[in-house]
Amino acid sequence: MQIDCPSCRNVLEVDDTNQSGVTVCPACGSHVPYLESTVAFHRPATQIIGQFRLLERVGEGQFGSVWKAQDEQLKRVVALKLPRRDDLDHESERMFVREAQAAAQLDHPNIVHVYEVGKEDGQLYIASQYINGSTLKEYACHHARDAVKAVAILETVAEAIHAAHSAGIIHRDLKPANILVDRAGTPFVTDFGIAKQNATQQTYTGTESGAIMGTPAYMSSEQAMGDSRKADARSDIFSLGVILFELIAGRRPFETFFQQLIHYNDGLPSPSPKAIASEVDPRLDRICRKALEGRPADRYQTALDLAKDLARFRSGQPVEALPVRRHELVLRWVQRNLALTVASVLCVVSLGAAAFSLQSPENEQPAVATHSFQPPATAPVTELTVELETEPPGAQVWFYPISELTGEPDLQASVASEARTPLKQRLQSGYYLVVAVLDDGRFHEVYRTVPRNASDTFYYLRHKRWLKTGADSVELPTITIPDHNVVNGMIRFEGSEDFVVGFAGEPTLTEHSVPIRPFFLARHEVTWEQYMAGNEGKPPGSIGPNRRPSDLTIPITGLFCDEAIHWAEKAGFRLPTESEYEFAATNAGTTLFPWGNARVELTDKLTSVTAETRDRCISFPGLTGLFSNGAEFTGSYGVPYGSPAEVTVIRRRPLDEVIIRGGPYGGLTSELGPMEHSLVRERWNRCGARNRVNLPRDTLSSRIGFRCARSVSPLQPQKVSANSIASGILTESQ
């Protein structure tokens, strides 16, 4: 039996009587569990496609396979790329031909030459130059962290890419797997499957507004914005920077795509390979960091500039890439965090004025220290035209700006759409709760971002994404309105006009009443099985494809809060507010814990949501896991609880923090310091379900998951007080 090594694609002959079910690849040393591998049945070496005789398969991918073949007419060896016939619709066929057309325009010694594209008996093929060697990914396995070889290869690749750019072709998918290295160590660029031709703005793929094209681990931040049509030469330079980083540091600069987005959105400096591998030369570190700058204007402006700097490094000359100065880092941070900067300056000025006044003769009497919460200073507000569609169309839409002070929708500042969807509406910049309602009663409540500038950087997630459509106009992601039956199986809560939240005697849990709107709540946390079913079979970007558990019925954890919000919206839900959580977990305010008032020991391990548990709400049958299977993200922000006057320290902007509820008595050890964790655990035992922890929105924890909620009816300005979007009491949906 033959299988392919998943690491190096070497063909392995295995003995299927081996009890261990594992074989060792002689080429790369990988231990391959062949009982779980896909068996590869190779075509006969005599098979003929047109004038080409297939010799052996040399590559495999999602598109199909690449074969070493003999051109019987011209008597030369070629690489024959064959897409799978059963996957080839009209659009795929068009893309396949366009790849050949893009590469055929390029004549450079280090770009794989395309000889012809044809179709024989329904089988499409591309015949191109055969490179006797391996991919750069495989090559790197045998030349780990060899800076001299890495620089030589990247210098040559950068020159080849510059030639492509000069011909108006942007590759957009540069990665080690798309760079071939022959036995002499010479690199060749291949696979122009999603290339773009600048001269005519023709995209060699079916790109659409909001599409993310490329390989996430190697794509630039501007590609990740969802409009790959606007990627230019500097996007390829970023990809080359990632490849260089990986070759000299032994790993990529970011473990996940989402971490990259968080990093650059926070205005942080480009990552340093020297911080990972101390032996990296400082000059090479500067070259790599310049290529990896988040803003295209800060990178090398041409691939030739990058190639020249790599050549200077190889010859021992000074490189042109300069280290980022401290004042530049400060300026970038200030630009990204203007509101927090203004608030900090005002705070320092206020403290200075207070200190001066206390030293004045007329203020010699003893002073009593007081603390008051000051709302964060807001960045300059701009107004843009927002384009929005719903599926189905014809919805009335309300836009509720989220208050920076309370973290709640500002009902007094709500904006009703002037037209039904699809619509255009002038809105001020900010973060919004958007409520879309159809005439038949179907609705959805989602979040959307209106930027200060249409060209600002943004995430790929729906609630933080937009597409620039003009100098002062943006298109927001379409809102898909679910059917009425989306709440089937959830538990319904009828709400309360004055539910008391908080805990007497705890200064930061001031008791106060909030209105609770009727809402639905899921019986248990979202599981791996549910998440992947609603995400095209893939785990979150923050987790990666190789970390899924064997039991997919356990809650999914280890993802960002924003990923949970994104998934919940796609499924037709939202995250519960902390008031909704507290209402449910205290049995409408009657108990300390979901199961009553007794403190019981709960396991810290994640278990199947179908398993029997003591963590069951006594008033709401079927509601489980609020205090086990990890803590849970809520849709509430890290704003003061109750009276704002009692908050003395602001660590971040309120909207940069999220409230965590539940969990096995606050078992968030990895997110809190030892002393802080001890205090939280002690207070959790005392306050039960009324306790809260606020953590940064970019927190990743194997102890935090989420469950979904949904309002019974859409939020309407005239029906609810300005203090809430909250929660409810029992009855089960049909």
φ, ψ (nearest 5 deg) of residue 293:
-60, 140
Torsion angle, CA of 424/429/430/435, rounded to 10 degrees? Answer: -10
**H or E stretch covering 578:** helix 578-585
Under a CB-based contact definition with an 8 Å cutoff, are residues 691 and 684 in contact?
yes
User: DSSP letters along 103-171, please?
Assistant: HHT---TTBPPEEEEEEETTEEEEEEE--SEEEHHHHHHHSTT-HHHHHHHHHHHHHHHHHHHHTTEE-
Cα(369)–Cα(367) distance, rounded to whole angstroms? 6
Among candidates 542, 567, 461, 472, which has minimal Cα distance to 212?
Answer: 461
Catalytic residue among 173, 236, 562, 698: 173
Contact 570, 461 (CB under 8 A): no
Looking at 172-270, list the stretches that DSSP marks H as alpha helix, in order from N- to C-terminal side.
221-224, 233-249, 257-265
173: annotated active-site residue: yes
- For the record, the structure tokens of 678 come out as 């001890």
Cis omega (within 30 of 0) for bond into 640: no
Q: H or E element: which one contains 326?
A: helix 326-336
Cα separation, 82 vs 7, in Å, equals 22
Burial 232-262 (b: 16+ CB within 10 A, else e): bbbbbbbbbbbbbbbbbbeebbbebbbbbbb
Partners of 527 in beta bridges: 555
Name the CA dihedral angle for 420, 421, 427, 432, rounded to a multiple of 10 degrees.
110
Place of tokens 């998440």: 531
Asked if residues 712 and 520 have their Cβ atoms less than 8 Å apart, the reply is: yes
Number of other CB atoms surrounding residue 694 within 10 Å: 22
Q: Which two tokens stand for residue 652?
A: 């971040």
Taking alpha carbons only, the member of 622, 573, 628 closest to residue 600 is: 628
Nearest to 557 by CA among 495, 609, 505, 483: 609
Contact, 709 vs 559, CB < 8 A? no
Cis peptide before 33 (omega within 30 of 0): no
Q: What is the C-alpha separation between 541 and 555, in angstroms, rounded?
A: 16
Q: List 390's β-bridge partners, or say none.
A: 479
Residues 6+ apart with CB under 8 A from 536: none
User: In 3D, which of 515, 502, 500 has the Cα closest to residue 691?
Assistant: 502
Single-letter amino acid, residue 527: T
Residue numbers annotated as active site: 173
